[in-house]
Structure 1
């Protein structure tokens, strides 16, 4: 079933209640191939990278305690770095999914029947945000299956502690799932803010893969830049999770401390809310043709 046909069919069904709107969003999302294709690519990607890091660093170090100290508030064990690849590399997949979930409705012109079925547009947007948050958490769990399920055994095979008996590791895993949920919500905000699908994906990829990494690298050389850089989305996501390879590399480069985990979560949530609110006012409320 095509994305436009399935979405149009669901959107034309009554969904006047909030529960109905949520159900419609779930059906629209899961009736297409988009979500599971992104999911499979993500799991394969982070799994391969986790295997490479666990094998390379694990065989050279022989013990997880040999890691150099990370920044304040960040975990510095090898398992934490391997497992956090689920978010530090995989976050782009739920944010793309969230963006496509909105821009696809503009592209396939399914917003008109959606708004006819649910005239209160704010209710539609809230339902989409909630559904993508839950699916983003699913992506987080899947990504962690890739990093923990592949990286953990390799760490053990190279004589390292897998860290799975450590409470801090499981706290990191829980925060990683939360981070991926927030990234999906940010994707919805981006799609609402930039309704054109091609433009939204280009802007999203350009920022996440080039602009922010460049800014975070530049922040290593100036304290004032580091004070600003820690509020970037990727840096906030790393702070929420509590570990990332980038944070280890940047440890001690500046005097600026990273955000605490809850501060990072609030920054990600604020970015999503602001983007969605601006998009709601500027585009979501306009007439749809």
Structure 2
């Protein structure tokens, strides 16, 4: 147990002693704040939007705005997780790490725990942007930001969980694809182009819809709440929130398991 805790502390130290984590965090905040506040201002200019009541179970403008924290922000924790893992191969820092702790499984678990924690921190940063600035823009425009609503706080809690799971997915992906450039290309290409197109195509038949709801972005929407992406795809039969969480956890476990069985076992120099 003590060696596992030491491995976790070591991985946290690796993350927080570099400039990468806060550089990505700043970009995350600015990006989410700009999109959330901009979309909120658009809502406030829709005739009658300020007078639309929030009904139980009905998608509301504030929840759509707050959901930007994950619907566009999830790429950042997965990217950091991938960079944290592939950087070990690129800079050959795995050699002293494995010399200090020959139990490679403990090292990988430590990295998963650490980046899950940092992913949760990114969730808080993204929510400060979407709820803070987006909610302020809604309030200025006369729309109730629903900050006293229990559903809003449930969404906030699930968003933090989703971002934490994406941090773990990034670690697993980095273990499967040790090339840093390759991992970055895969993350950006899939999250920004491939999956949005797949989700759009999934709405054309019941067969593709059944497959599409298990895509990681769709699972994130199921966990947190519907986003603009899910509305545009017109996808039916979304997963329950807990099922979406299990799908994301499954991606993290599968990627980490494949990485542990392949690249993580190879000799390092």
> TM class by shorter-chain length?
over 0.9
Unaligned ranges ≥5, structure 1: 1-14
Contact residue 200 and residue 232 of structure 2 kept, 8 A: no
Q: 1:262 aligns with which of 242, 250, 254?
A: 242
SS of the equivalent of 1:17 reads helix
Which of 20, 31, 35 aligns to 2:21? It is 35
Q: Is residue 2:12 matched to residue 1:26?
A: yes
Match of 2:34 in 1: 48
The alpha carbon displacement at 1:16 in A equals 7.2
In the superposition, the TM-score normalised over structure 2's length comes to 0.96
Matched, 1:168 2:154: no
Structure 1 residue 59 displacement after superposition: 2.0
CA distance in 2, matches of 1:74, 1:217: 24
TM-superposition CA deviations, 1:92-122 (whole Å, max 9, x none): 0000000001000000000010000010000
TM superposition shift of 1:61: 4.3
Shift of 1:58: 2.0
- Cα RMSD between the aligned structures? 1.9
Q: Which residue is equivalent to 1:185? A: 168
User: 1:102 and 2:85 equivalent?
Assistant: yes
Is residue 277 of structure 1 aligned with residue 244 of structure 2?
A: no
**CA, structure 1 residues 146+239, in 2 after alignment: closer, same or farther (shift >3 Å)?**
same
CA contact (8 A) 2:120 2:163 kept: yes
Q: Which stretch of the first structure deviates more once superposed, 48-57 or 219-228?
A: 219-228
Q: Does 2:185 correspond to 1:205?
A: no
Aligned residues: 269
- Which runs of 4 or more aligned residues in structure 1 lie more than 6 Å from their structure 2 counterparts after TM superposition? none
Residue 243 of structure 1 and its aligned partner are, at CA, apart by 2.5
Aligned 8 A contact 1:240 1:264 in 2 = yes
Do 1:62 and 1:159's aligned partners in 2 also have CA atoms closer than 8 Å?
no
TM-score calculated relative to the size of structure 1: 0.89
Q: Distance in 2 between matches of 1:230 and 1:261?
A: 12
In structure 2, how many angstroms separate the alpha carbons of the residues matched to 1:75 and 1:276?
37
- Secondary structure of 1:162's counterpart equals coil
- Matched with 2:266 is 286
User: What CA distance in whole angstroms lies between the structure 2 residues aligned with 1:173 and 1:152?
Assistant: 13
What does residue 195 of structure 1 align with?
178
Tell me how far apart the structure 2 counterparts of residues 61 and 117 of structure 1 sit (CA, whole Å). 63
For residues 287 and 248 of structure 1, the distance between their equivalents in structure 2, rounded to whole angstroms, comes to 47
